[in-house]
Amino acid sequence: MRYEETFEIGFGNPFPRLQLLSVHRYVTGLGLSESKILAIAPVLLVGDQVVRVTLFKTADVTAILNQHGGVRQHCIEGRQINVLIKDPNVEERFVRVFDYPANANMEVMKVRLREFGTVLDLRRDRYAGATAGMIPCLTGQLTVRMTLNSPIPSYLQVGEHKVNIISVHGDAWVNGLEHQSFNQEVMRPWVQIPAEPVIKIVGSAL
């Protein structure tokens, strides 16, 4: 399904949910007068709070996406909310990045990935299974949520580091993996990890 003259706003998963009046004020605060807005419709999702805004003119939608597209932080209802404005017709993809050191600069990675599309979210992966009193270690892997304008090479030079890229969707957007699906066969070199390392906190911080 294609959405015409529409852009999408995601507010993450705030608790409590933002009031519709606050959402309406945010939309008009983007420089849109009431006469330009056809509809503001909530999207029924279990997690994130999302609305789709339909305007009368395609040119106004394009202007909003060009000026406000991507993730930005705004103060709404006295809370700092990461707001994502995007084109609902552009498919999001999840990309895994391997071999990027834990102390490497995340901003450098973001700038590099922007050569291939729009980075919506980027976070470091941690080993699961931590229990109370333990801190999970970083894995040296990143999960990136982004839209892609061009294929990403399966190996990418980021600063002084050479990283390996795998598309979670396993499609042709990652060169060299066009015919592989994202399954255990693809992931096997990385899932065969010995016991998950954790750092145990000993004593009190006082």
The DSSP code sequence of 128-185 is S---TTEEEPEEEEEEEEEEESSPBPSEEEETTEEEEEEETT-STTBTT-TT--SSHH
Q: Are residues 97 and 185 in the same domain?
A: yes
pTM, entire model: 0.59
Assign residue 147 the CATH number of its domain: 3.30.70.330
Q: Are residues 100 and 184 in the same domain?
A: yes
What pLDDT sits at residue 189?
31
Structural domain boundaries enclosing 41:
6-86
Q: Are residues 63 and 104 in the same domain?
A: no
Assign residue 12 the CATH number of its domain: 3.30.70
What pLDDT sits at residue 145?
85
Q: Are residues 107 and 57 in the same domain?
A: no
Give 10-residue mean pLDDT values along the chain (206 residues): 91 92 96 94 84 96 91 92 90 86 89 87 70 61 85 89 76 38 32 34 42
157 within domain boundaries: yes
Taking the alpha carbons at both ends of the chain, their separation in whole angstroms is 57
Where is the domain boundary, 65, 86, 107? 86
What pLDDT sits at residue 41?
94
